[in-house]
Amino acid sequence: MLTPSTTLCPSARAEEGALLLGVVAPDQSVKMLTEPEPLTAELAEAIAEIDAPEQQFRFANRCVKSGCNQWHDGRCGVIDLVMSFNQHLAEPVTLPACAIRSQCRWHKQNGPKACTLCPFIITDSSQTEQERLVYIDSPAYAPGA
């Protein structure tokens, strides 16, 4: 069960217990909902019928830390990779709307700059966890490379 103190992964899979956070717009940015919608068994089942739901919607769920293949050196590798390509960004003056900011792993880890990049990150769960791990670990994509 998710509680107000639960740290949330803002790039989770579409599964029962997750939260629907937003919808991917035609411009490929995520438009966040005002309030997250809990994925009941019925809603999760309906969304599972959609091809690659994580590429069409944004979901959040408990950050499982080392239980996730994206977890490296005590940090989320997804946001660290994106941040490594966007080091030039200035500290944002305003932040995009977000219903989970106070619980968000990416915000806790990288602060407001993560919020600026968040709407442009699309989850690709069509690959296996191992394939995504190889992509993240590839020297060409390593943070700081």
The pLDDT value recorded for residue 107 is: 97
Top pLDDT among 8 and 143 is at 8
Pairwise CA distance, residues 9 & 136, whole Å: 17
User: Is pLDDT of 91 > 50?
Assistant: yes
Per-residue model confidence (pLDDT) at position 59: 96
Decide if 13 contacts 44 (C-beta within 8 A).
no
Instruction: Give start and end residues of each alpha helix (H) in 7-65.
Output: 41-48
CB contact at 8 A, 90 and 55: no
Residues 2-45 pLDDT 10s: 898 999 999 999 999 999 999 999 988 899 999 999 999 999 99
Give the mean pLDDT of 139-144: 42
Q: What pLDDT is attached to residue 132?
A: 42
First to last CA, the chain: 38
Q: Model's pTM, two decimal places?
A: 0.82
Q: Residue range 61-90: average pLDDT?
A: 92
Q: Which residues contact 44 (CB under 8 A, 6 or more apart)?
A: 14, 15, 16, 17, 18
Q: What is the mean pLDDT of residues 62-67?
A: 96
Pairing of strands 30-38, 75-76: unpaired
For 85, other C-beta atoms within 10 Å of its C-beta total 12
Quick one: pLDDT band at residue 144, thresholds 50, 70, 90?
very low
10 Å Cβ neighbour count for 75? 15
Return the domain boundaries, the chain. Answer: 8-141
Mean pLDDT of 57-67: 96
Residue whose entry in the numeric block shows the structure tokens 């107000």: 4
Mean local confidence (pLDDT), 85-103: 91
Tokens at 96, concatenated: 């995009």
Mean pLDDT of the chain: 86
pLDDT at residue 134, as a whole number:
35
How far does Cα 135 stand from its chain's mean position? 16
**pLDDT confidence tier of residue 87, bands split at 50, 70 and 90:** confident
Looking from the CA of 29 toward its CB, the CA atoms found within 13 Å total: 9
